[in-house]
Amino acid sequence: MTNATPSPRLVPVTEHEQRVSALLTPTPVDSRALDECLGLALAEDVTAPIPLPPFDNSAMDGYAVRSADLAEVDEQHPVTLPVTADIPAGRVELPALEPGTAHRIMTGSQVPPGADATVPVEHTDSGTERVRVSTPVRVGAHLRRAGEDVAAGDTVLTAGTTLTAAHLGVASAVGTAQLSVHRPPQVLVLSTGSELVEPGLPLRPGQIYESNGIMLAAAVRQAGGSARLLRFVPDDVTAFHEALAPHLDSTDLIITSGGVSAGAYEVVKDALAGSGVAFTKVAMQPGMPQGAGRYFTGNGAGTPVVTLPGNPVSAMVSFEVFVRPALRRAAGHHTTRRPFRQAVLTEQLGSSAGKRQYRRARFDPSSGTVTPEGGPGSHLLSSMASANCLLEVPEDATELPSGSNVGVWLLE
Ligand SMILES: Nc1nc2c(c(=O)[nH]1)N[C@H]1C(S)=C(S)[C@@H](COP(=O)(O)OP(=O)(O)OC[C@H]3O[C@@H](n4cnc5c(N)ncnc54)[C@H](O)[C@@H]3O)O[C@H]1N2
Ligand code: MOO
């Protein structure tokens, strides 16, 4: 490993990260029905107005009893009690349990006043008029106490939580019908390039199937955004502006891929340079040519734009490093970054001096090791697809021997 001085032309990864992050502000908050909230970020804490369980209830189907009535019972000396009430789940009015009697009770039903335990039906003869019980029970057996799970006034969900199925379950269990959530950022994903063909159509020499647009739109959705995809924007500045125009009012972020390096037909650069988007080279591999700024069409603050490089792996890695954290922050999520782990490298790796390298790799959690998938080339999309992490090689490393400790960002 040697120390290398980064080229002065290259912008540090952290600086470009901040530039992208600063473009986006938190999205508005609105109130939505629970079944529209999965995956969104909660905007306000949720406090339980009631305890959970709301009342003492039975954990088993069986008979509500006084444990003292069964103190002397065993297999050889069963006792028979009259069954004086039936308590299905949801019964509201309950008669008290008199000494020396039992109530038939179902799982989740209220425990009647006077009862202090449930005898599971398996320990009885299942009688409906009278029941024969052959085991004793301790006080509190097979009962679930009010407030055992949640006390009234407890905070059950905190703002910034990414709402999962279980979060929605607990919100509903405490009686919440709607939640305050951040609206997902609306992202317009554009791909340009005269060589791009729609999958399903025939491919002629020199043409390739479009892949960045579909991939980035999916990545936006996975990150918690909402994506609109314009896949075949022609390599023409006027056509580029025309493609954007109808969507600007409803767009929080424009993501483009391709057309930003040094070629003669760099439509994204040609259309956006001078309109508030700065094009730079970042000290990163893949993902060196980058752009970020605002797209101005006249009045107003402009629409945030991030221009990603066209090579598919560069586009995807740049999305992970720069766009995803910013998008998640704007969408109100507390968790903005992928999980990070330390891992032991299983083979030797080389890297360009002065650039942070992100290699596609597979992390094995059982051994704590990481193995690169495919080579460093930014056209090797299949190894992006088979990777489960990005392996980060720091800017100052030019060679990492097998056995080195490295950081990995888990993608799944
Ligand atoms: N003379 C230089 N050439 C290049 C430089 C440089 O600094 N000087 N940078 C290289 C690097 S690094 C990258 S990354 C690429 C970035 O190029 P662009 O962002 O301008 O992208 P394109 O030239 O349009 O395309 C690059 C590559 O990716 C394919 N592509 C583009 N869009 C899509 C899409 N939607 N789906 C699938 N594949 C796509 C395109 O066909 C090209 O193969 O520039 C290097 N060159
Ligand atoms: O730096 Mo480019 O983004 O890989 O080939």
pLDDT digits 0-9 by tens, 278-322: 999 999 999 999 999 999 887 688 999 999 999 999 999 999 999
Together in a domain, 258 and 312: yes
Question: Cα(113)–Cα(103) distance, rounded to whole angstroms?
Answer: 11
- Residue 102 falls within a domain, yes or no? yes
C-alpha dist (Å) from residue 164 to 36, 42, 161, 171, 224: 11, 11, 9, 11, 12
Say whether both 230 and 310 belong to one domain. yes
Question: Which of 174-178, 180-184, 238-242, 408-412 shows the lowest mean pLDDT across its residues?
Answer: 238-242
Residue 189, φ and ψ in degrees, nearest 5: -105, 125
Cis, bond preceding 78 (omega within 30 deg of 0): no
- Nearest ligand to the CA of 261 is 1
Ligand 2 mean position, distance from CA 254 (Å) = 20
* 178, 35: one domain: yes
Which residue's CA is minimally distant from atom 4 of ligand 2?
Answer: 286
Atom 42 of ligand 1: nearest residue by CA position: 311
Task: Say if residues 369 and 388 touch (Cβ distance below 8 Å).
Answer: no
Residue 2 pLDDT greater than 50, yes or no:
no
Q: How far is the CA of 321 from the centre of ligand 1 (A)?
A: 18
In a domain, 4, yes or no: no
Phi, psi of 391 (to 5 degrees): -95, 125
- Answer whether residue 84 shows pLDDT above 50: yes
- Closest to 332 measured CA to CA, from 43, 46, 45: 43
**Same domain membership, residue 38 and residue 18:** no
Distance 289 CA to ligand 2 centre (A): 7
Domain span at 244: 10-27+184-330
Which of the pair, 236 or 3, is modelled with greater confidence? Answer: 236
Residues with CB under 6 A from ligand 2: 285-288, 309, 311, 314, 378
**236 & 362 share domain:** no
Q: Let me know whether 175 and 47 are in one domain.
A: yes
Q: Tell me, what's the pLDDT at 138?
A: 97
At residue 18, what is the residue type? Answer: Q
Tens of pLDDT, residues 395-409: 999 999 999 999 999
Which ligand lies nearest to the CA atom of residue 193 in the structure? 1
Inside any domain, residue 130: yes
- Of 302, 330, 358, the last residue of a domain is 330
Q: From 88, 120, 144, give the residue that closes a domain.
A: 144
Task: Supply the pLDDT for residue 259.
Answer: 83
Number of domains in the chain: 4
| Encoded tokens for 323 | 């766009």
**Both 237 and 161 in a single domain?**
no
Task: Tell me, in angstroms, the distance from the centre of ligand 1 to residue 263's CA.
Answer: 9
Pick from 311, 313, 356 the residue to mutate for probing ligand 1's pocket: most ligand atoms within 8 Å of its CB. Answer: 311
Question: Can you give the CATH number for the domain in which 121 is found?
Answer: 2.170.190.11
221 and 189 belong to one structural domain = yes
CATH code of 380's domain: 2.40.340.10
pLDDT band at 367 (very low <50, low <70, confident <90, very high): very high
Average pLDDT over residues 249-278: 86
Count of Cβ atoms closer than 10 Å to residue 89 Cβ:
13
How many whole angstroms from 412 Cα to the centroid of ligand 1? 27
Domain boundary among 278, 296, 330: 330
Percent of the chain with pLDDT over 70: 97
pLDDT (tens digit, 9 = 90+) per residue, 122-170? Answer: 999 999 999 999 999 999 999 999 999 999 999 999 999 999 999 999 9
Q: Do residues 97 and 198 share a domain?
A: no
Per-residue model confidence (pLDDT) at position 5: 47
State the distance from the centre of ligand 1 to the C-alpha of 95, rounded, in angstroms. Answer: 77
Q: Is the distance from the beta carbon of residue 354 to the nearest atom of ligand 1 less than 6 Å?
A: no
For residue range 227-241, list pLDDT tens digits in order: 999 998 888 899 999
In a domain, 2, yes or no: no
Give the pLDDT mean for 349-373: 97
Q: Is residue 3 part of a domain?
A: no
Does 280 reside within a domain?
yes
291 lines ligand 1 (CB under 6 A): no
Q: Give 202-218 pLDDT, tens digit per residue.
A: 999 999 999 999 999 99
User: Do residues 22 and 96 both lie within one domain?
Assistant: no
pLDDT band at 32 (very low <50, low <70, confident <90, very high): very high
Same domain, 296 and 396: no
Ligand nearest to the CA of 258: 1
137 within a domain of the structure (yes/no): yes
Residue whose CA is closest, atom 39 of ligand 1?
310
Give the closest residue (by CA) to ligand 1 atom 1: 262
Whether pLDDT at 6 is above 70: no
- Whether 218 and 312 map to the same domain: the answer is yes
Which ligand sits closest to the CA of 288?
Answer: 2
What ligand 1 atom has the least distance to the C-alpha of 314?
Answer: 14
Closest atom of ligand 2 relative to the 318 alpha carbon:
3
Residue whose token pair is 């022609």? 234
Give me ligand 2 centre to Cα 356, in Å: 12
Q: Looking at the domain assignment, is residue 5 inside a domain?
A: no
Q: Among 365, 376, 409, 368, which residue's Cα sits nearest to residue 391?
A: 409
pLDDT at 382 over 70: yes
Amino acid letter, 358? Y
Measure Cα distances from 198 to 216, 219, 316 in Å.
15, 19, 19
Q: What is the structure's pLDDT at 236?
A: 87
